[in-house]
Amino acid sequence: MDGVSLVRTYYRSIDTDEYTALTDVLSEGFVHRRPDATIEGREEFVAFMRRGRPERDTEHALKAIYTEHGGERIAAEGRLRGADGSDRFGFVDSFEIESGKIRSIRTYTDFSPD
């Protein structure tokens, strides 16, 4: 699976609660750095997505996906929307792809209106 497909699968699996698919696209040493926390380890991240996130009924509405370095660095820009369709915040996720898996993500958030 190429990097863009990994990224699309990542968001789709979170939005549809497909945790096996999420596990499959993450490397064992996966790290997610976000403004409020760092989550280290694939299993820890999947457990957080399953039970620890503040709001589970959301959708990642992607605006653009950017690639560089032969698909090893990917950025995705979008808005997180609630179940009622309202915007929660904007985001840019910077992905590092290694050996066909997502190695790390750094999330940047924007709480200004779109």
pLDDT of residue 62: 97
pLDDT of residue 69: 74
pLDDT of residue 81: 95
How far apart CA 45 and CA 14 sit, in angstroms, is 11
Query: 3-110 is classed in which CATH architecture?
Result: Roll (3.10)
Token pair for residue 47?
């457990």
The pLDDT averaged over each successive group of 10 residues in the chain (114 residues) is: 95 96 97 96 96 86 92 95 92 97 97 80
pTM of the shown model: 0.92
pLDDT of residue 13: 97
Domains of the chain, by residue range, sit at 3-110
Q: Are 91 and 11 in contact (CB under 8 A)?
A: no
Full 3-state SS string of 47-103: HHHHHHCCCCCEEEEEEEEEEEHHHCEEEEEEEEEECCCCEEEEEEEEEEEECCEEE
pLDDT of residue 19: 96
